[in-house]
Amino acid sequence: MAASTPPLHVVYDSPPEIFATDSSGSFAFTLARDGESGIDSAGYDEVRFLLSLWHPSEARTIDLDRAYVELRGAVDSGTDHWTRLAEIEPVVPAYNTGQRFDGWIVLPVFSSSSAFSIAGSGFEPRSRLQLHASAYFVA
């Protein structure tokens, strides 16, 4: 693609209902836009991911020292083989309240078709989380 290619901003679908972590506080969630996980990333050099995880109940908090979130990718979006791309560090709020896990990462684009998922651990066992994620692809 030419340098004048406009950036692609992808806002992933929020889960239609809250998903629960397992008994050890872990989860895995495939990111999709309009129900599709694959994105035509040909010609883009870089992707900037933003994500936010939170408990819908104000009675729960997230221990930002224990919570771990990673971005996984499928180079061939037609397969279910996910490769760990990067750990996402939380942006720690003032006074470390832990109401949300907000994080971001910038990565090179690895293939012409990309699919991504989020995996996490260290959350409260069997807790329910809500997720919002977006990606910004630039040439």
Over the chain (139 residues), the average pLDDT of each successive run of 10 is 78 79 88 90 93 85 89 77 90 72 91 90 88 94
Q: Which DSSP symbol is given to 92?
A: P
CA dihedral 102, 107, 111, 116 (to 10 degrees): -10
Query: What sign does the dihedral 60-19-133-121 (CA atoms) show?
Result: positive
- The owner of tokens 């969630």 is 29
In this structure, what token pair is assigned to residue 133?
């994620």
Bridge partners (DSSP) listed for residue 89: none
Domain boundaries, the chain: 24-138
Q: What is the model's pLDDT at position 70? A: 96
Tell me the CATH class for 24-138.
Answer: mainly beta
